[in-house]
Structure 1
Amino acid sequence: MVVIWNVSIRKAIGVVLPKPPTCGTYATSIGFGVCRETSDPKIVKIMCIGRLRDVESIACIPRQVEVFTLSTRAWKSLSGNLPRKSIFFSECSVAKDGTLYWVASDGNTVNERHNLIVSFDLTSEEFREVSLPDSLAYRSSLSMSKLRDSLVVIDYSVEANIWMMEDESFTKLFTVDLNTPNALKVIGFSKSGEAIVIVSKDNHFGHG
């Protein structure tokens, strides 16, 4: 179940997700945003192949993309403009200006796989791919977030490098040092632009 919570009116609505296949072949990613034209909240459920060894043997992914619209209280399956079956989506999306964005990877083998950004327009309900520069396309660990009103890609190596995404170009903004004790990853940014880092202390997790 997904719960949509409107903080301003203190009202929550539970939405039951379509039941996935019982086998462990597939992985699911969920996105939430609001249509620019109708201001209607939507939930996007994407099913992708979760194991590389299954990419070649699966001809198509059943119910690959399903969209829930709050005004109709109904799910519908999309049949056109679907992502390639070889694309694997990260679990969480980032919403900006009526569009959802995911960090994704594409390829049939580990050596062939590369990172990219996949977007979904909540009005036209169409997918689009954004290529990453080589400095990001072959990194092993990436995530996305919002810094003020801009989309950023976070590249993890020894430290966290913050890249701003503007149209289809990427500019490195700054680096967050993760060499401090128990620092794990950047999970977002404050209104002033400071990085929010999750840390581990005495085997418990917290924000620092």
Structure 2
Amino acid sequence: MGLPIARIELADEVQIRGCNAYSRLALPEQPTLFLEFHGSAAGTREQVETFAAISAEEGGGQVEWATRPEDRTKLWQARHDAYWAARALKPGTDLIATDVCVPISALAACVAETKQDIERLSLLAPIVGHVGDGNFHVMPLIDPADMEERKRVQEFLDRLVERALRMEGTCTGEHGVGQGKIGYLAEEHGLGVDVMIAIKKALDPLNILNPGKIFALP
């Protein structure tokens, strides 16, 4: 449709519940998109109206439009504080922040299947996402002393990556590989990882640059 959207962010109903409590909002507890439009007053109004019409055709809910700077700031600050809002949903637990990225055409299906896994495994795992580029984050809250829950979370993480790769996406959107996704990197790129390791060894023969990250070098 050629509709210029400056920002588009997703928060699922669990994350919205956390944002309402942490940021003192009163949003309906349902999956919600936060959007930002740039331009003149008339131009942005037309953009919002076009988006609202598309949303209505696709079964979307009510579109609320904030024009005052203080109202916009409050909403975006709530989105920026999503991590802290998620942690507050279950005090005393650890939060594992992970993400994947898929083509936008596969995004809705990927999120829907991820939600089904969360429910099946009885996890508390809010979802937020920079969905304009197909990237979304899941933040399972976990009791570190509960070994059975830790196993369920690991199963969830493995299935999340498998799903993203099956949908022609990537194992990480913006968090990077670090240590936790070394195995997933090999699954995604296969022998291409050997090429990456060769370059790493050529440029860093002593393995002193961020050792232990991205590649499991001996």
Structure with the larger strand share = 1
Structure with the larger helix share = 2
- Greater length-normalized contact order (CA 8 Å, ≥ 6 residues apart): 2
Structures share fold, TM-score greater than 0.5 = no
TM-score by length of 1: 0.28
Instruction: Tell which structure's C-alpha radius of gyration is larger.
Output: 2
TM-score by length of 2: 0.27
